[in-house]
Structure 1
């Protein structure tokens, strides 16, 4: 009798595992079809409502640019696997706003950037890393194609739109720079232009050892990757001040991202 029960348990577990594989298979195929779905299917009205209610960057766009933004957000949502951590599920609002932060950064670039990063992990609050032994608001793992975000810190970044602290933009900038470095066939950015940007970063950080910078916070000088992400935060949240204080850096960043936050329309 016991042997029969054991066999039944093994069969049930095998069936559950098979069903899980089938489910993941369908989800993978669905994500692969995202570019077609985003072009053919209408943008869900719920996406527009969320963007219009909460996303300032979207609100400032012209009607035609809004349509493009909506399509890019839809593509991002359809093509990424959103994975909850320490929460039961990720709301549609969270998915749309996280996608919007990525589209805000890449709006001037060709369609479907950040292809390498296909998993978005979302924690409810800042989370503890067993590797670094400290709490994080977000991080990027290029080896596994993962972007990790604290939802509370993400929201705080957009609630305070002028302090140049924005976890969403910061982590998306990390992902974008890393993806550009990993692509062999086509670069996201002009390599020479990025070299010039890095030269300015090095020069500014040397100056900051003597005189603090009014725009760039000291953390930016941890390395060139952090400088780029901090610069992106300032580019979108304090563009007028950034342009006035560091016009050359602002101009190069505008060319890299192919947009100007001071002239969205």
Structure 2
């Protein structure tokens, strides 16, 4: 022990005699902190066990305070069909999540497109609905929404695109024209916003270990195993329930599958009930069966 450390300890003893109030408070604080950390990890472990048997988290919604949208934005919620079917409490939760998404997300218009309240709210409602069954709904690797008037040239793929998810930039890039086409259900089983947002959820589930990511990713692996059957894959192709783009790779497959789940749930459930259940579990989206 060097001379400076000895002097420091002597000074501390002079300034803070044994069992001072400061030491008592510090001791209590450290003890409580250790206990809370232990409790957190115990609950986290037991919830993982619960998820294994119940295929859903302990809870989804818990907010100390609920935020409200400005009055001029609330009308967009009231026009949404999914929002309309929710009970009073869930409507408040939906609104709160929409506010939080708007707070953390930067909207950017490209090629002269001016992003107005209508555009922001249509994207926000889509994202809020898709993640409404997930406790961890604010994705770490998504902070920017970029809107183009129509298709755009992608630096990533060096092709003309209508949508993409860029994890490096934490950005979702969309053609507004094509987003609205899907949002208005003009293409059966297709939704550009849901497709690209599923990519964002999938990427976040790989990178994170929260309970929502764990459920999504683990169930996705179960779905992959289920699809190992050559006979099942043949049936999926023959029914044409998924468009051809789904067979590009496993990431496109799940993105197209979630589109069909959200846009045509009854058809998916009737033709492939087990696949329907897997997607329901991945998103913990249990609102079609109510």
In structure 2, the CA distance between the partners of 1:199 and 1:218, relative to structure 1 (3 Å rule), is farther
Q: Which moved more, 1:80-89 or 1:193-202?
A: 193-202
Match in the other structure for 2:177: 152
Matched, 1:129 2:148: no
In structure 2, the CA distance between the partners of 1:227 and 1:261, relative to structure 1 (3 Å rule), is farther
Q: Which runs of no fewer than 5 residues in structure 1 stay unpaired?
A: 1-37
Deviation at 1:50, TM superposition (A): 1.0
Preserved CA contact (<8 Å) 1:72 1:111: no
Cα distance in 1 between the residues matched to 2:209 and 2:143: 18
Preserved CA contact (<8 Å) 2:135 2:212: no
- 1:160 match: secondary structure: coil
RMSD: 2.6
Aligned residues: 227
Match in the other structure for 2:112: 87
Match in the other structure for 1:12: none
1:158-169 matches, cutoff 5 A: 158-160=183-185, 163-169=188-194
Matched, 1:262 2:288: yes
Deviation at 1:188, TM superposition (A): 1.2
Q: Which moved more, 1:131-140 or 1:197-206?
A: 197-206
Q: 1:45 aligns with which of 40, 57, 71?
A: 71
Greater C-alpha Rg: 2
Q: 2:264 aligns with which of 216, 221, 238?
A: 238
Q: Which runs of no fewer than 5 residues in structure 2 stay unpaired?
A: 1-63
Preserved CA contact (<8 Å) 1:221 1:227: yes
- 1:231 match: secondary structure: helix
Q: For each residue in 1:93-121, what CA deviation from the matched residue of structure 2 results, as whole angstroms up to 9, or x when unmatched?
A: 11111111111111011144312211111
Match in the other structure for 1:119: 144
Preserved CA contact (<8 Å) 1:235 1:261: no
Q: 1:197 aligns with which of 218, 223, 243?
A: 223
Cα distance in 2 between the residues matched to 1:103 and 1:210: 29
Cα distance in 1 between the residues matched to 2:177 and 2:230: 31
Q: For each residue in 1:185-216, what CA deviation from the matched residue of structure 2 results, as whole angstroms up to 9, or x when unmatched?
A: 65613243221112234547973499523322
Cα distance in 1 between the residues matched to 2:181 and 2:201: 22
Cα distance in 2 between the residues matched to 1:205 and 1:135: 35
Match in the other structure for 1:212: 238
Cα distance in 1 between the residues matched to 2:262 and 2:243: 15
In structure 2, the CA distance between the partners of 1:61 and 1:263, relative to structure 1 (3 Å rule), is farther
- 2:169 match: secondary structure: coil
Matched, 1:56 2:81: yes
